[in-house]
Amino acid sequence: MRIISGKHKGRRLSAPNNLPVRPTTDMAKEALFNILNNYYYFDTLSVIDLFAGTGNISFEFASRGCEKITAVDAHYGCVKFIATTAKELDFPIDTIKSDVYKFLEKSPLKATIIFADPPYDFEKEKFEKMIELVFDKELLNDNGMLIIEHSKQTNLSDNEHFNYSKKYGGNMFSFFEKEEL
């Protein structure tokens, strides 16, 4: 995997082969960050990266100047790799080894962006539960956004918080926002 932009632009990172992950492709990641660049100043963001895997998305946010990043994953090897790499690169990434749903139910953290990249074979009910927890627990800051990466076969547009989605190859990003009152 490669960091696309920021202070570590072009840097390649090699995760151990035994991690149960599917990192976001460079093409999809670049497109996602181009979208986010139109909404936010990265140095003002707080981010929670759910199902963080290799930390690919967390590292990109950190390289672009984001100062508050929390990476959550249930796999010890993933959390260890993210923590070790973050320390080596002096990135402000806190790692939490936890089931994502338990984390969302109990987390006191709020963020401007919550990014989730669950397994592509997730059942729709699991996606819905995650979305529900984020909004019911009010885990997004004002002007915050939940972004879920999923396969193009999964349709999340019927959720009340759904804003829009973008497709990149086999990847899809769905964007969810709090309703404006």
Share of residues in the chain with pLDDT > 90 (%): 75
> To which CATH superfamily is domain 27-59+73-177 assigned?
Vaccinia Virus protein VP39 (3.40.50.150)
pLDDT tens for 20-68 read: 777 788 888 999 999 999 999 999 999 999 999 999 999 999 999 999 9
Q: What pTM does this model have?
A: 0.94
Other beta carbons less than 10 A from residue 103's beta carbon:
20
pLDDT score of 16 more than 80 = no
CA 124 to chain centroid, in Å, comes to: 18
pLDDT tens for 165-178 read: 999 888 899 999 97
Q: Where are the domains of the chain?
A: 27-59+73-177
pLDDT at residue 181 in the model: 47
pLDDT at residue 180 in the model: 59
pLDDT tens for 59-102 read: 999 999 999 999 999 999 999 999 999 999 999 999 999 999 99
- The mean pLDDT of 129-145, rounded to a whole number, is 95
pLDDT score of 104 more than 80 = yes
**How is 99-136 classified by DSSP, letter by letter?**
-HHHHHHH----EEEEEE---TT--HHHHHHHHHHHHH
pLDDT at residue 40 in the model: 94
pLDDT score of 179 more than 80 = no
pLDDT at residue 19 in the model: 79
Q: Is 175 left (phi over 0), alpha (psi -120 to 50) or beta?
A: beta
pLDDT score of 157 more than 50 = yes
Count of CA atoms in the C-beta half-sphere (13 A) of 107: 26
